[in-house]
């Protein structure tokens, strides 16, 4: 017997949008957000609340700051 419940859940999930917490833009859940809880596939709660673009910007900025500290350029405290 086919598992129709899973097919309907996935189909409904494909058309959902979510607002990014960082940039406040509404984007497609599947295409623009990373899956953060792989064991909860098929649920909107399995995806992060920060879009892929904002996540990449945050990580790049953090790495740049860590590199400056390692080189001896400490911020003014």
1 pLDDT band, cuts 50/70/90, is: very low
Using the 8-state DSSP alphabet, how is residue 10 labeled?
H
Using CB atoms within 10 Å of the CB of residue 11, give its burial: 0 to 12 exposed, 13 to 18 middle, 19+ buried: exposed
| CA–CA separation, 27 and 17 (whole Å) | 5
pLDDT tens track for 30-72? 899 999 888 887 788 888 999 999 999 999 998 877 766 666 6
Q: What are 75's two structure tokens? A: 């911020």
The reported pLDDT for the residue numbered 76 is: 61
Alpha carbons 33 and 49: distance in angstroms, whole number: 7
């Amino acid at each position: 017997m086919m598992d129709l419940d899973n097919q309907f859940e996935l189909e409904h999930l494909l058309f959902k949008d979510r607002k990014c917490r960082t940039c406040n833009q509404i984007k497609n859940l599947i295409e623009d957000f990373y899956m953060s809880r792989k064991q909860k596939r098929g649920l909107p709660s399995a995806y992060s609340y920060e879009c892929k673009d904002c996540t990449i910007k945050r990580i790049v900025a953090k790495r740049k700051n860590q590199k400056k500290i390692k080189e001896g350029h400490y911020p003014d405290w």
